[in-house]
Amino acid sequence: MQTGRPLEFDPQLAIDAAMGVFWLRGFEATSLSDLLAAMGLSKSSFYNAFGSKQQLFEACLVRFRRRHVERMGEMLHSAASPLAFVREMLLTNAREAREPGPRRGCLIMNTATEFAGRDAAVAACVEDAARDFAAMFRTAIEMAQEHGEIPRNADAAVLARYLLTTMAGLRTMVKAGLPADELEKVVEVAMSALR
Amino acid sequence: MQTGRPLEFDPQLAIDAAMGVFWLRGFEATSLSDLLAAMGLSKSSFYNAFGSKQQLFEACLVRFRRRHVERMGEMLHSAASPLAFVREMLLTNAREAREPGPRRGCLIMNTATEFAGRDAAVAACVEDAARDFAAMFRTAIEMAQEHGEIPRNADAAVLARYLLTTMAGLRTMVKAGLPADELEKVVEVAMSALR
DNA sequence: GGTTAAATGGACCAAGCGGTCCAAAAATGG
DNA sequence: CCATTTTTGGACCGCTTGGTCCATTTAACC
């Protein structure tokens, strides 16, 4: 079995580059040439390696999900307490409003609003990611309950979905132009629902 | 001063039709022919009356905002109590998940995520609408405070923004595919932050 | 019924879209 | 250094995009 010429680019890195563009501009507003420019590929290499714009997009969603679930896990692990982790997560979302430059929000939430209704495969990616994020929150809440930070009779699954909802809302409000300091106060109100 | 031939269509009705399409599909994914078909206009009538796709879009945003602020006002007025109004608002958002067919969410929130970062005029429309919605919530909260439903020392403006955030989050979660009954439980958690 | 102002349908536009295809180049294993 | 496998650049595709333009029709006023 012959090997042939090896790939000249790193597919993972290319996906990362594409992810950045999709993240910033969404699916529809991103053109093929935008992608090619960002990835540094020719058209044929692109189609050879990724099939189509939408397939690449789905790959980006999967990669985004994996990476961010991982990052959440690390944050939970290194946080002062489970509840501190939750607060930190929400604050991180709110504080995007503080940064200069464009607000890109969360790729998954963006996709849910822009695209999930139109394509089943994409919708599945979004649902999977949402489930994963909620599961991370649920773990944190159960830990907090054992810690005594949250009442033990509370329904951890419902609280987890509540937190996910709040996260999504914060991201939307950032995009809608609310200032960071106001959103940080909103986070404190949101946290008060856990007690 | 001569009058000339009168318009053959009702511009308001045409905007309503266009709004429906934008609401469902977003700005980028809506093509001119989609709009013309929905509005029942020829291309020249369209450009004559509305200037461009984006100008029409902005008109839709303005109209959407006016209509929904109005509707919120009516709901607040006819509600059993200010707090009941708030709960009803949130539940209305959550219950979109119960309806068959595509989920369109809220045109303003959709636009915030899809488009607000790229165009200043559109961003301004979104900010204005967000401010109006928040103001309605604020009125409701202040009424609830006088009613004794919410502690008087709470910051009504912050709570209002919290509610707006929750609304936006609920709409996103509906689009992400969470079932209605779970979202209704989330609403109850969210409401508990007001007490 | 003529005059005027505006609406209308449809031809037309260049540019961009996502996607295909192929001949040439290149890197590996033998 | 040859054979095999794969990548690569670029030509090419049909189609759609948002938008313009104009000759014609239409309605209202006097």
Q: Which nucleotide is nearest to A35 (CA to C1')?
A: C18
CA distance B13 to A145: 54
CA distance B187 to A87: 19
For residue B8, the model assigns a pLDDT of: 72
For residue A159, the model assigns a pLDDT of: 98
Residue of B34, B172, B182 for testing the chain A interface, max A β-carbons within 10 Å: B172
Answer whether A127 sits within 8 Å of B177, measured CB to CB.
Answer: yes
For residue A10, the model assigns a pLDDT of: 87
Residue A11 lies in a domain: no
pLDDT, one tens digit per residue, over B101-129 is 999 999 999 999 998 888 999 999 999 99
pLDDT, one tens digit per residue, over B169-188 is 999 999 999 999 999 999 99
- CA torsion sign for B97, A167, B193, B137 is negative
Among A164-178, B36-50, B99-113, B156-170, the range scoring the smallest mean pLDDT is B36-50
Residue A108 lies in a domain: yes
- CA torsion sign for A38, A40, A44, A47 is negative
Residue A42 lies in a domain: no
Answer whether B189 sits within 8 Å of A25, measured CB to CB.
Answer: no
Residue A172 lies in a domain: yes
CA distance B55 to B129: 17
Q: Which amino acid is at A93?
A: N
The SS3 call for residue A132 is helix
Residues 6+ positions from A92 with CB-CB distance below 8 Å: none
Using N-to-C axis directions, what is the helix angle for A156-176 and B120-147, rounded to 10°?
A: 130
Partner A contacted by B173 (CB < 8 A): yes
Residues 6+ positions from B160 with CB-CB distance below 8 Å: B134, B135, B137, B138, B140, B141
Q: DSSP of B125-187, one letter per residue?
A: HHHHHHHHHHHHHHHHHHHHHHHTSS-TTS-HHHHHHHHHHHHHHHHHHHHHT--HHHHHHHH
- Count: domains in chain B: 1
CA distance B104 to B126: 17
Whether B2 shows a pLDDT value over 70: the answer reads no
For residue B10, the model assigns a pLDDT of: 85
How many angstroms away from the CA of B131 is the closest CA of chain A? 9
Residue A39 lies in a domain: no
Partner A contacted by B116 (CB < 8 A): yes
Q: What's chain B's length in residues?
A: 195
Residue B82 lies in a domain: yes
Residue A170 lies in a domain: yes
Q: Percent of chain A at pLDDT above 90?
A: 87
pLDDT band (50, 70, 90) for residue A106: very high
For residue A182, the model assigns a pLDDT of: 98
Strand C and B152 CB separated by under 7 Å: no
For residue B1, the model assigns a pLDDT of: 46
pLDDT, one tens digit per residue, over A128-173 is 999 999 999 999 999 999 999 999 999 999 999 999 999 999 999 9
Strand C and A100 CB separated by under 7 Å: no
Q: How far is CA B37 from CA A64, A70, B4, B18, B52, in A?
A: 37, 46, 26, 9, 16
pLDDT band (50, 70, 90) for residue B50: very high
Q: Which nucleotide is nearest to B4 (CA to C1')?
A: C5
Residue B56 lies in a domain: no
Q: Which domain holds residue B183?
A: 63-192
CA of A18 to C1' of D25 (A): 52
We report the CATH number of the domain holding residue A138 as 1.10.357.10
Residues with CB under 7 A from strand D: A 2-9, 41-45, 48-49; B 2-6, 30-34, 43-44, 47, 52-54
CA of A47 to C1' of C25 (A): 19
Partner B contacted by A68 (CB < 8 A): no
